[in-house]
Amino acid sequence: MAMKSGTFLHDATQPPKSDRILPLFSLKGRTAIVSGAGAGIGLAIAQGFAEAGANVAIWYNSNKKALEEAAQIEKDYGVKCKAYQVNVTTWETVQTAVDEIVKEFNGRLDIFVANSGIPWAYKSFLDTPTDELHKLLKINLDGTLYCAKAAGLHWRRQKQEGTTVDGKPLENYSYGSFIATSSMSGHIANIPQQQMVYNASKAAITHACKSLAVEWVGFARSNSVSPGYIKTGYIPEDAKNVFKDKIPMGREGETGELKGVYLYLASDAASYTTGTDIIVDGGYCVP
């Protein structure tokens, strides 16, 4: 942490060198890892990063279609993209996967999006078996923290040593960017579904990113994105009309409508953005 005697060190970070905005959004030559990217939001993020020039490793749990999606990303955008089956609920598995990918992807890591998560089963807290409670927290919260730690260790070393893992000069690198997928449910209590444990896990993720932004000053930025209702197939049809009544835009969001915010946070365009949470919910949380 760039802190001494309870105050932050002056000029511990630097602004980007370019005074033009569009070049700052380029991710050319950078390495990104996106967890939970076999489909849905994570896949859209990976596609957006690849379009911006990044080499992308996509993680999946059981959806083997991720292998086809990775091959398609390579074909469409001319970058390196590979899918990895990773269980984010164990620290050793996450650390090993990150280390192996860094070695394979030009010895560097620039961006990590912790997007793995599971939805709630729409049961009340009192009627939920404790094993389901722990399963959700293990994936949503523990998995996010494991990903943050594994990525942060590389970013700290890269900033200190200025080299790739194999000792080569690290080019076009300023800071690491950690982005966690939180949820507007970390800000409000959804209705009609009852999902206290899910909401609590997302609120914890948002605050963890704020805290990491302080701890990591000098070598990485940390932010979160809180999507609202997005078309991912997890929302019961009978609940849609209820929440659409509460969205000023009157509809669910498309996964592609999240690409821009993740690209911004991943890029040098967000060089002075850390410790923030961006809500993308069609206005649900506004009223």
In the chain, the amino acid numbered 225 is V
Which tokens sit at 124?
A: 């009340």
**Residue of 77, 84, 175, 198 marked active site:** 198
Cα gap 269→287, rounded to integer Å: 30
The torsion angles phi and psi of 98, rounded to 5 degrees, stand at -60, -45
**Residue of 35, 116, 182, 183 marked active site:** 183
Judge residue 58's burial from the number of C-beta atoms within 10 Å of its C-beta, 0-12 exposed, 13-18 middle, 19 or more buried: buried
* Count of Cβ atoms closer than 10 Å to residue 32 Cβ: 30
Query: Between helices 40-51 and 65-77, what is the axis angle to 10°?
Result: 20
Question: In 1-142, which ranges are continuous DSSP H helix?
Answer: 21-24, 40-51, 65-77, 91-104, 130-137
**Residue of 175, 202, 259, 284 marked active site:** 202
222 among known catalytic residues: no
Closest CA to 187 of 269, 286, 271, 93: 286
26 among known catalytic residues: no
103 among known catalytic residues: no
Closest CA to 165 of 177, 153, 154, 179: 154
Which are the catalytic amino acids?
183, 198, 202
